[in-house]
Structures are given as C-alpha cells and as structure tokens.
C-alpha cells in the first residue's frame, strides 16, 4: 500500500514507488505543471490537456527541489 499524504523524495527505488500516486488516473500530459496556463503555443506533450497548464521547466523544477519537499510537493499534480 502506498500512502501519498506525506513523503520524502529519495532517488532510489522508493522514488519509483511514488509514481502511482502522482499518476493516479492520468493518461496524458506532464506530471509536474506550472501554476498557470501556457501563454505561448507549446507542443501538445508539454501541456496538460485538462487544465491547459504547461510542463514545469527543468530550471524551475530544480529551484523547487532545492526548497525541499514543500517546494516540490506544491507542483506535483
């Protein structure tokens, strides 16, 4: 059983076990999203079809991960 209420990211097998929580019910689109809709035309794979929000950039993802679990968790959708 995987509990998604509280977690820490460790770059090992336990990280892969978090994916079912992040992907629950998702069939398309990126997992980590910006907090607003895309302002420019992007490739379809970089936009969440349900919300219209863009994929989080690697630069922004790195900034959030440096903030620790609270920063990363706020962008996991």
The answer for residues whose C-beta is within 8 angstroms of residue 77's C-beta and 6 or more apart is: 22, 31, 32, 33, 48
Q: Of how many residues is the chain composed?
A: 77
Q: Supply the pTM of this predicted model.
A: 0.53
DSSP, collapsed to helix, strand or coil, labels residue 33 as strand
For 49-60, b/e burial (b = at least 16 CB within 10 A) is eeeebbbbeeee
Give yes or no for a contact between 64 and 70, defined as CB atoms under 8 angstroms apart: no
pLDDT digits 0-9 by tens, 36-75: 887 888 898 888 888 888 998 888 888 887 887 665 555 5
């Amino acid at each position: 059983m995987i509990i998604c209420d509280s977690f820490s990211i460790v770059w090992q097998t336990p990280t892969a076990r978090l994916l079912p929580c992040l992907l629950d019910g998702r069939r398309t689109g990126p997992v980590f999203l910006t907090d607003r809709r895309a302002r420019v035309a992007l490739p379809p794979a970089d936009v969440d079809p349900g919300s219209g929000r863009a994929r989080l950039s690697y630069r922004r993802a790195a900034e959030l991960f440096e903030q620790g679990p609270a920063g990363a968790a706020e962008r996991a959708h």
